[in-house]
Amino acid sequence: MTQFPPMDDDRLGATVGGHGPRPAYPIESVDNALKLLGMFRKRQLVRVSEAGDALGIARSTAHRLLAMLQYHGFVRQDPLSKAYVAGQALLDLGLAAVQGLDIRALARPELERLSRELEETAHLVVLEGRFATTIDSVESTRALRVGARTGVAEPCHCTAPGKALLAELPAHELRALLGDAVLESPTPRAIARLDDLERELAQVRELGFATSFEESEAGVSTVAAAIPEPALLPRAAIGISAPSFRLTRKETARVAAAVVESAHAVVARATPALGAGVPAVG
């Protein structure tokens, strides 16, 4: 388990956006809750023990803080690992605060272009704990197509966008996220062992894109690439899904090139906003 040294006020203030001198009469519980939220900028998950160690408070106190944040939707607890991950309220708050860097708005033109160019369904996916959640889709106009998946959460290890995002994580975070979990196998083709997943993620890092051939759903293939994240955007990936008889392994290189191009184009769209001093969403 990763150990964190107690975080001083300057570091934590910078993490969550504190400005100016510390208030003369701080409210300790609010201060700790905000510091705790700040930990999720750089981490996919936080355990009670890690929160207590980082904040220098008792684990029982850390647990109560996390429970209250969960009640308000800012975090949620993974049922298997018992660790906490960022909740929808935290994501929505971050996106509302930096409208110019709303990942959905930035990616939408690329999803539309990609779907139009390849005549298949395009998805924008974020990592939420052990799940890959689709937050936007542009559906193909073909009669036989993969439907839009907006709002659908799938086990991250058996989807191409999920694997593209997992490949971005340090090894210790990947192990913390999935190490204690039984890898669900929605289809016989899905990866069932963490060691096998780690080998595939190494290949994803080398190639720059991920694939899923009937791993999450029979008859569906997907190619995806993570949006490069120079600490400016929420972790997200763009993917193209199609019936497996159309998106074969022979088509992978062509589709992957288009997907990777779109992922980089999203960052290019964000760059002017960053130059204007718009803060990042973590």
CATH of the domain at 238: 3.30.450.40
Quick one: 36 and 150 in the same domain? no
Question: Mean of the pLDDT values across residues 79-104?
Answer: 67
Question: At which residue do the structure tokens 């600490």 appear?
Answer: 231
Quick one: 259 and 192 in the same domain? yes
Residue 15 lies in a domain: yes
Quick one: 239 and 167 in the same domain? yes
Question: How confident is the model over 181-238, as pLDDT tens digits?
Answer: 678 889 999 999 999 999 999 999 999 999 999 999 999 999 999 998 655 566 899 9
Q: Structure tokens of 83?
A: 């660790």
Kindly report the three-state secondary structure assignment for every residue of the chain: CCCCCCCCHHHHHHHHCCCCCCCCCCCHHHHHHHHHHHHHHCCCCECHHHHHHHHCCCHHHHHHHHHHHHHCCCEEECCCCCCEEECHHHHHHHHHHCHHHCHHHHHHHHHHHHHHHHCCEEEEEEEECCEEEEEEEECCCCCCCCCCCCCCEEEHHHCHHHHHHHCCCCHHHHHHHHCCCCCCCCCCCCCCCHHHHHHHHHHHHHHCCEEEECCCCCCEEEEEEECCCCCCCCCEEEEEEEECCCCCHHHHHHHHHHHHHHHHHHHHHHHHHHHCCCCCCC
Output the pLDDT for position 182.
Answer: 73
182 versus 254: the higher-pLDDT residue is 254
Question: At which residue do the structure tokens 């990866």 appear?
Answer: 191
Q: Is residue 90's pLDDT more than 80?
A: no
Q: Is residue 110's pLDDT more than 90?
A: yes
Domain count within the chain: 2
Residue 281 lies in a domain: no
Output the pLDDT for position 164.
Answer: 97
Quick one: 128 and 218 in the same domain? yes
Quick one: 70 and 202 in the same domain? no
Q: Is residue 43's pLDDT more than 50?
A: yes
Question: Mean of the pLDDT values across residues 116-135?
Answer: 92
Residue 263 lies in a domain: yes
Residue 3 lies in a domain: no
Sign of the torsion angle spanned by Cα atoms 8, 10, 14, 20: positive
Nearest Cα to 82, choosing from 62, 55, 53? 62
Residue 59 lies in a domain: yes
Quick one: 41 and 155 in the same domain? no
Which of 94, 112, 133 is the C-terminal boundary of a domain?
Answer: 94
Residue 4 lies in a domain: no
Pick from 8-22, 34-48, 193-207, 216-230: least confident: 8-22
Residue 2 lies in a domain: no
CATH number, domain with residue 69? 1.10.10.10
Question: At which residue do the structure tokens 């839009």 appear?
Answer: 148
How far CA 123 is from CA of 84, 223, 235, 280, in Å, comes to: 26, 10, 14, 22
Question: Mean of the pLDDT values across residues 83-98?
Answer: 66
Q: Binning pLDDT at 50, 70 and 90, where does residue 251 land? A: very high
Output the pLDDT for position 123.
Answer: 96
How far CA 243 is from CA of 120, 143, 215, 222, in Å, comes to: 9, 11, 13, 9
The residues facing 137 across adjacent strands are 123
Quick one: 236 and 156 in the same domain? yes
Which of 62, 79, 94 is the C-terminal boundary of a domain?
Answer: 94
Whole-number Å distance between alpha carbons of 25 and 33: 16
Q: Is residue 281's pLDDT more than 80?
A: no
Which of 77, 94, 111 is the C-terminal boundary of a domain?
Answer: 94
Quick one: 137 and 115 in the same domain? yes
Quick one: 45 and 121 in the same domain? no
How far CA 214 is from CA of 159, 185, 189, 254, in Å, comes to: 9, 11, 6, 19
Whole-number Å distance between alpha carbons of 214 and 185: 11
Residue 202 lies in a domain: yes
204 versus 100: the higher-pLDDT residue is 204
Quick one: 151 and 84 in the same domain? no
Q: Binning pLDDT at 50, 70 and 90, where does residue 264 land? A: very high
Task: Identify whether the C-beta of residue 255 lies closer than 8 Å to the C-beta of residue 236.
Answer: no
Quick one: 30 and 142 in the same domain? no
Quick one: 251 and 203 in the same domain? yes
Output the pLDDT for position 41.
Answer: 67
Whole-number Å distance between alpha carbons of 83 and 47: 5
The residues facing 126 across adjacent strands are 133, 236
Whole-number Å distance between alpha carbons of 155 and 128: 10
Output the pLDDT for position 26.
Answer: 64
Output the pLDDT for position 279.
Answer: 38
Query: Where in the sequence is the domain holding 184, given as residue range(s)?
Result: 98-275
